[in-house]
Structure 1
């Protein structure tokens, strides 16, 4: 691929890639969302015509970045945009959800969310054992705190959630926190790597996510909050919703009832029998299908994209009640659709190429008196139709 400051010519190796991915050399320092915005506003031309972010380029295509101020490419005026109004605006419901989570991502304008504005005011609180303690247990989540620096962010409950009265100082009995992929929930045996449990010592960790899994961690602000969580889990009153991308084309929804063996194992084994315990079942609902080559690379800073590939993958919604270690990953592999980026349960011949994250995100938690949700950081890497499907299922998901 050859380029100057405002234009690039597509080389054979880049044929088939998305426009928002190949645009990176023209926009150094700009993230994927910003490049998509340029395309949506008609400021990126392919062979003289405005194209959408998901347009697949071909060998020899000339991609030109138009100057937003005067509509020029540096070598003459650009033609009028035919793309219509920008589609980058977020609808009201999604905007409200995003405002309730400071997940460390940036807006299309590149401004970071303000975590401090989401946190209760500091003050003396009750610690997890119920004894007064003159410190703010959420302080590590504030800008400058160790938990904040590690990528952990507070998630406020969804509108309508009515948590039990909080302890003195305003810290709720149940606290939802966003965990980025790559950070462990708790300390591993013999390990010294940072983990959420140690970074939030004044809160009681209630659930765990695998290291590469992102999404909602639940913690208790006091013993009453811990009892509330345990009771809901044991009675099947919790509903944990995950978004994931699996390999292959999953056509129909299913409930995976296969029993799991997690005893003294680093890899969960699927037993050759089903379990009647619905707390250990996994409900799987396909949301959208797309080509692996349509997925923008969520890892590299330059969003180089995934090599052109006709392999079909499926965006799925997975729901569990209580869950077991690696339950969703093991169950998805068991039905022949291991998760994208799973280097433990995926078959050797499965995509993707190296450096791909695990596409598994705990996106919503609902139990009596509490509900919270957050979108995955890799949502922007999905094709538009798949991303829209993910938003709909998350916003419309109903509790038990």
Structure 2
């Protein structure tokens, strides 16, 4: 992979953008730029996909990193912002040398660097944890969501992770505190419409791949007044999937002002455990209520 300086505008292709042509995906690194500016960018070969130039008709894949080659004026991309140091609370919580690692991300920290968005992110500090090594985020969490971020430590493992997701061989376990009483397990299988939407929509029809579904199981009734602690399991996620699925089922996550009745001091959604054939990692319990519940990690 070509070396790309950390201060170049960059963006990670989200799942809902998979399969788009490169010239359509350029909004990730050239937000607000017109058609002419985008055309000049790919014609000049300054747009890189995972460090390499590609033609405009190239179809991007989720998780790929789009960057502008060093020397491209920052103004052309809306400014990427200078990367800061390691955000407070971000740390390594598991590693299989040469394959995978996991970082813990507190709520309120961005997972990825997006051109035009100020502030540091976990993506921008990967070099601080693995200097001189290949390291790529292969999952993302919403800004207010806490928990595990998976890091592939080789190009081959990044590709392997995607293959395992498509085989439902990646298991992501979340803890969520939701409004209402959940008495029995249920599954949310409605397709997620995230196309050009800040707030996604759950469709009546099932996800055509059968992969983007959320399995929900009650863990502790009345964990908070009028709320249930649940375990949520997904294998391949879409943007806001768990939050949207739970809200559509009538049980929005506590503190979710987007899909629930009101925003709170924290979003009670925590990516607790990650399992795949080559790797497993667990995040520490985070919420102050956890000690009162008397739950061990084995519950998740």
Q: Same fold (TM over 0.5)?
A: yes
Report the Cα distance in structure 2 between the residues aligned to 1:221 and 1:203, rounded to whole angstroms: 5
Could you give the per-residue CA deviations for residues 339-390 of structure 1, whole angstroms, max 9, x where no partner exists? 0011100035xxxxx6420000111110111111113310x42463x341x6
Structure 2 gaps of 5+ residues are 1-49, 52-83, 128-133
Match of 1:371 among 266, 280, 290: 280
- State how far apart, in whole Å, the 2-side matches of 1:332 and 1:355 are: 17
- Which residue matches 2:192? 260
How far apart, CA to CA, are the structure 2 residues paired with 1:264 and 1:275? Answer: 18
Could you tell me which residue of structure 2 aligns to residue 82 of structure 1? none
Q: Partner of 1:381 in structure 2?
A: 289
List structure 1 segments (4+ residues) > 6 angstroms apart after TM superposition: none
Partner residue in 2 for 1:343:
257
Quote the offset at 1:229 in angstroms: 1.1
Partners of 2:114 and 2:197 lie apart in 1 by: 14
Which residue does 2:161 correspond to in 1?
229
- Is 1:272 matched with 2:178? no
Residues 1:146 and 2:60 aligned together: no
Rounded to whole Å, the distance in 1 between the matches of 2:164 and 2:278 is 10
- 1:191 — aligned with what? 117
SS at match of 1:329: helix
Runs of 5+ consecutive residues of structure 1 not aligned to the other structure:
1-127, 130-144, 158-162, 167-171, 293-310, 349-353, 395-400
Q: Is the 8 A contact 1:197 1:205 kept in 2?
A: yes
- TM-score between the two structures when normalised by the length of structure 1: 0.50
For residue 230 of structure 1, report the CA deviation from its aligned partner.
1.5
Q: Deviations over 1:173-217 (max 9, x none)?
A: 211100111001012452112111111145211110000000000
Q: Secondary structure at the match of 2:227?
A: strand
1:175 aligned counterpart, secondary structure: strand
* 1:211 and 2:143 correspond: yes
- Which residue number corresponds to residue 286 of structure 1? 218
- The answer to whether residue 86 in structure 2 is matched with residue 177 in structure 1 is no
Specify the structure having the higher radius of gyration (Cα): 1
After superposition, residues 306-385 of structure 1 pair within 5 angstroms as 311-347=225-261, 355-378=264-287, 380-382=288-290, 384=292
* Equivalent residue pairs, number: 213
Aligned-partner Cα distance in 2 for 1:227–1:176 = 17
Superposed displacement of residue 391, structure 1: 2.8
* C-alpha RMSD over aligned residues: 2.1
Residues 123-162 of structure 1 aligned to structure 2 (within 5 Å): 146-147=85-86, 149-157=87-95
Say if 1:189 and 1:271 are closer, same or farther in 2 by CA, change over 3 A.
Answer: farther
Tell me, in whole angstroms, the C-alpha distance in 2 between the residues paired with 1:215 and 1:274.
Answer: 27
Answer yes or no: is the 8 Å Cα contact 1:282–1:320 preserved in 2. Answer: yes
Residue in 2 aligned with 1:392? Answer: 298
Partner of 2:211: helix, strand, or coil?
helix
Q: Kindly report which structure 2 residues correspond to 1:56-75, keeping only aligned pairs within 5 A, or say none.
A: none
